[in-house]
Structure 1
Amino acid sequence: MKDAEVMTRVIAILTETRKWVADDAEGDASDDQALDLVGALVNELVSTSFEVPGDASPQDVAAAIGGAMSSPLFKAFAGFAAAFHLLAAEHDQHNPEVTSADVLRDLALRVSSEE
Protein backbone atom coordinates (compact mmCIF):
# COMPACT_ATOMS: atom_id res chain seq x y z
CA MET A 1 0.00 0.00 0.00
CA LYS A 2 1.36 3.41 -0.94
CA ASP A 3 1.91 6.15 1.62
CA ALA A 4 -0.98 8.24 0.24
CA GLU A 5 -3.33 5.26 0.61
CA VAL A 6 -2.19 4.71 4.19
CA MET A 7 -2.76 8.38 5.00
CA THR A 8 -6.22 8.25 3.42
CA ARG A 9 -7.12 5.22 5.56
CA VAL A 10 -5.71 6.90 8.68
CA ILE A 11 -7.79 10.02 8.03
CA ALA A 12 -10.87 7.85 7.54
CA ILE A 13 -10.21 6.07 10.83
CA LEU A 14 -9.72 9.34 12.69
CA THR A 15 -12.85 10.85 11.13
CA GLU A 16 -14.99 7.80 11.78
CA THR A 17 -13.62 7.43 15.30
CA ARG A 18 -14.71 11.00 16.05
CA LYS A 19 -18.21 10.08 14.84
CA TRP A 20 -18.05 6.82 16.80
CA VAL A 21 -17.19 8.70 20.01
CA ALA A 22 -20.15 11.04 19.45
CA ASP A 23 -22.43 8.04 18.89
CA ASP A 24 -21.00 6.40 22.00
CA ALA A 25 -21.91 9.45 24.07
CA GLU A 26 -25.50 8.96 22.89
CA GLY A 27 -25.32 5.21 23.56
CA ASP A 28 -25.56 4.29 19.85
CA ALA A 29 -22.02 2.98 19.28
CA SER A 30 -20.39 -0.37 19.77
CA ASP A 31 -16.72 -1.22 20.24
CA ASP A 32 -16.98 -3.36 17.11
CA GLN A 33 -17.23 -0.23 14.94
CA ALA A 34 -13.83 1.09 16.00
CA LEU A 35 -12.25 -2.36 15.85
CA ASP A 36 -13.61 -2.90 12.33
CA LEU A 37 -12.03 0.35 11.11
CA VAL A 38 -8.63 -0.41 12.57
CA GLY A 39 -8.85 -4.07 11.58
CA ALA A 40 -9.54 -3.14 7.97
CA LEU A 41 -6.43 -0.96 7.86
CA VAL A 42 -4.26 -3.65 9.43
CA ASN A 43 -5.63 -6.28 7.04
CA GLU A 44 -4.87 -4.06 4.06
CA LEU A 45 -1.37 -3.27 5.28
CA VAL A 46 -0.16 -6.62 6.55
CA SER A 47 0.28 -9.62 4.33
CA THR A 48 -1.63 -12.67 5.46
CA SER A 49 1.00 -15.09 4.20
CA PHE A 50 4.65 -15.45 5.13
CA GLU A 51 7.27 -17.63 3.52
CA VAL A 52 9.18 -19.72 6.01
CA PRO A 53 11.35 -22.75 5.20
CA GLY A 54 9.93 -26.08 6.36
CA ASP A 55 12.82 -26.66 8.73
CA ALA A 56 12.58 -23.20 10.32
CA SER A 57 12.85 -22.96 14.07
CA PRO A 58 10.17 -21.18 16.09
CA GLN A 59 12.56 -18.24 16.36
CA ASP A 60 12.92 -18.15 12.55
CA VAL A 61 9.14 -18.19 12.16
CA ALA A 62 8.77 -15.35 14.67
CA ALA A 63 11.50 -13.37 12.90
CA ALA A 64 9.81 -13.87 9.50
CA ILE A 65 6.44 -12.71 10.84
CA GLY A 66 7.98 -9.79 12.70
CA GLY A 67 9.97 -8.74 9.65
CA ALA A 68 6.93 -8.89 7.39
CA MET A 69 4.79 -6.91 9.83
CA SER A 70 7.22 -4.24 10.99
CA SER A 71 7.32 -2.13 7.84
CA PRO A 72 3.55 -1.97 7.28
CA LEU A 73 2.88 -1.25 10.94
CA PHE A 74 5.55 1.44 10.92
CA LYS A 75 3.75 3.01 7.92
CA ALA A 76 0.48 3.01 9.84
CA PHE A 77 2.04 4.55 12.97
CA ALA A 78 3.82 7.14 10.84
CA GLY A 79 0.52 7.96 9.15
CA PHE A 80 -1.22 8.49 12.49
CA ALA A 81 1.69 10.63 13.72
CA ALA A 82 1.68 12.74 10.54
CA ALA A 83 -2.09 13.22 10.71
CA PHE A 84 -1.84 14.23 14.36
CA HIS A 85 0.98 16.67 13.59
CA LEU A 86 -1.05 18.35 10.85
CA LEU A 87 -4.16 18.52 13.00
CA ALA A 88 -2.18 19.84 15.99
CA ALA A 89 -0.44 22.50 13.88
CA GLU A 90 -3.81 23.66 12.53
CA HIS A 91 -5.30 23.71 16.03
CA ASP A 92 -2.34 25.61 17.51
CA GLN A 93 -2.47 28.18 14.72
CA HIS A 94 -6.09 29.04 15.55
CA ASN A 95 -6.17 28.47 19.32
CA PRO A 96 -2.80 29.46 20.81
CA GLU A 97 -4.25 29.73 24.32
CA VAL A 98 -4.79 25.95 24.54
CA THR A 99 -2.06 24.22 22.57
CA SER A 100 -2.15 20.65 21.35
CA ALA A 101 0.60 19.91 23.89
CA ASP A 102 -1.73 21.22 26.63
CA VAL A 103 -4.49 18.93 25.40
CA LEU A 104 -2.13 15.92 25.38
CA ARG A 105 -0.85 16.68 28.88
CA ASP A 106 -4.42 16.93 30.15
CA LEU A 107 -5.28 13.64 28.45
CA ALA A 108 -2.22 11.94 29.98
CA LEU A 109 -3.22 13.15 33.44
CA ARG A 110 -6.80 11.96 33.00
CA VAL A 111 -5.69 8.55 31.75
CA SER A 112 -3.15 8.10 34.52
CA SER A 113 -5.74 9.00 37.15
CA GLU A 114 -8.06 6.27 35.82
CA GLU A 115 -5.51 3.52 36.48
Structure 2
Amino acid sequence: MAHQLLTIEVSRPDADHVRLRLTGELDYETAPELVAAAADLRGGQQVTIDLSRVGLCDSSGLSALLIVRRVAGSIRLTGVSRQVQQLLDRTGLTELLSVQTAVDDDLRATG
Protein backbone atom coordinates (compact mmCIF):
# COMPACT_ATOMS: atom_id res chain seq x y z
CA MET A 1 0.00 0.00 0.00
CA ALA A 2 1.36 3.43 -0.93
CA HIS A 3 2.00 5.90 1.85
CA GLN A 4 -0.47 8.79 1.91
CA LEU A 5 1.26 12.14 1.76
CA LEU A 6 0.53 15.00 4.09
CA THR A 7 -0.56 18.34 2.71
CA ILE A 8 -0.65 21.45 4.84
CA GLU A 9 -2.80 24.36 3.78
CA VAL A 10 -1.82 27.55 5.59
CA SER A 11 -4.18 30.49 5.89
CA ARG A 12 -3.89 33.68 7.89
CA PRO A 13 -7.34 35.06 8.75
CA ASP A 14 -5.59 38.01 10.42
CA ALA A 15 -2.13 39.08 11.56
CA ASP A 16 -2.36 37.19 14.86
CA HIS A 17 -4.07 34.00 13.68
CA VAL A 18 -2.69 31.16 11.60
CA ARG A 19 -4.77 28.18 10.50
CA LEU A 20 -3.11 24.96 9.37
CA ARG A 21 -5.38 22.45 7.64
CA LEU A 22 -3.76 19.03 7.43
CA THR A 23 -4.81 16.34 4.97
CA GLY A 24 -3.37 12.83 4.90
CA GLU A 25 -1.35 10.97 7.50
CA LEU A 26 0.63 12.57 10.32
CA ASP A 27 3.28 9.97 11.07
CA TYR A 28 7.01 9.28 11.15
CA GLU A 29 7.44 10.05 7.47
CA THR A 30 5.32 13.21 7.32
CA ALA A 31 5.70 14.79 10.77
CA PRO A 32 8.83 16.72 9.66
CA GLU A 33 6.60 18.61 7.19
CA LEU A 34 4.50 19.96 10.06
CA VAL A 35 7.64 20.86 11.99
CA ALA A 36 8.92 22.75 8.93
CA ALA A 37 5.63 24.64 8.70
CA ALA A 38 6.05 25.62 12.35
CA ALA A 39 9.33 27.34 11.52
CA ASP A 40 7.30 30.17 9.97
CA LEU A 41 5.27 30.72 13.15
CA ARG A 42 6.10 33.15 15.91
CA GLY A 43 5.17 33.18 19.56
CA GLY A 44 1.96 34.89 20.55
CA GLN A 45 0.05 33.89 17.43
CA GLN A 46 -3.24 32.04 17.73
CA VAL A 47 -2.63 28.77 15.87
CA THR A 48 -5.50 26.49 14.88
CA ILE A 49 -4.67 23.08 13.45
CA ASP A 50 -7.54 21.40 11.62
CA LEU A 51 -7.12 17.62 11.77
CA SER A 52 -10.49 16.72 10.24
CA ARG A 53 -8.81 15.29 7.13
CA VAL A 54 -6.07 13.39 8.95
CA GLY A 55 -6.62 9.66 8.67
CA LEU A 56 -3.78 8.56 10.92
CA CYS A 57 -1.68 10.15 13.64
CA ASP A 58 1.09 8.31 15.47
CA SER A 59 3.58 9.27 18.18
CA SER A 60 5.72 11.16 15.67
CA GLY A 61 2.65 13.20 14.73
CA LEU A 62 2.01 13.98 18.39
CA SER A 63 5.62 15.03 18.75
CA ALA A 64 5.25 17.40 15.80
CA LEU A 65 2.11 18.92 17.37
CA LEU A 66 4.08 19.55 20.57
CA ILE A 67 6.84 21.25 18.60
CA VAL A 68 4.28 23.53 16.96
CA ARG A 69 2.88 24.30 20.42
CA ARG A 70 6.34 25.12 21.73
CA VAL A 71 7.03 27.51 18.84
CA ALA A 72 3.61 29.19 18.88
CA GLY A 73 3.05 29.20 22.63
CA SER A 74 -0.34 27.51 22.32
CA ILE A 75 -2.39 25.75 19.68
CA ARG A 76 -5.99 24.73 19.21
CA LEU A 77 -6.77 21.41 17.55
CA THR A 78 -10.06 21.11 15.65
CA GLY A 79 -11.67 18.24 13.82
CA VAL A 80 -10.00 15.70 16.08
CA SER A 81 -11.08 12.16 15.17
CA ARG A 82 -11.92 9.52 17.73
CA GLN A 83 -8.58 7.75 17.02
CA VAL A 84 -6.55 10.92 17.59
CA GLN A 85 -8.61 11.81 20.68
CA GLN A 86 -7.89 8.40 22.18
CA LEU A 87 -4.19 8.86 21.47
CA LEU A 88 -4.24 12.29 23.12
CA ASP A 89 -6.11 10.89 26.14
CA ARG A 90 -3.75 7.92 26.57
CA THR A 91 -0.67 10.13 26.44
CA GLY A 92 -2.10 12.83 28.72
CA LEU A 93 -1.82 15.47 25.99
CA THR A 94 -5.51 16.36 26.15
CA GLU A 95 -4.62 18.32 29.29
CA LEU A 96 -1.89 20.22 27.46
CA LEU A 97 -3.56 20.94 24.11
CA SER A 98 -6.84 22.72 23.45
CA VAL A 99 -8.90 20.09 21.62
CA GLN A 100 -12.19 20.22 19.75
CA THR A 101 -13.45 16.85 18.50
CA ALA A 102 -14.77 16.25 15.01
CA VAL A 103 -18.42 17.17 14.58
CA ASP A 104 -19.14 13.88 12.79
CA ASP A 105 -17.83 11.85 15.72
CA ASP A 106 -19.94 13.86 18.16
CA LEU A 107 -23.08 13.28 16.07
CA ARG A 108 -22.40 9.53 15.79
CA ALA A 109 -21.91 9.26 19.56
CA THR A 110 -25.27 10.89 20.29
CA GLY A 111 -27.24 9.52 17.32
TM-score, normalised to structure 2, is: 0.31
User: Comparing both chains, which one has the higher relative contact order based on Cα–Cα distances under 8 Å and sequence gaps of 6 or more?
Assistant: 1
TM-score, normalised to structure 1, is: 0.31
Higher strand share: 2
Determine which structure has more spread, i.e. the larger CA radius of gyration. Answer: 1
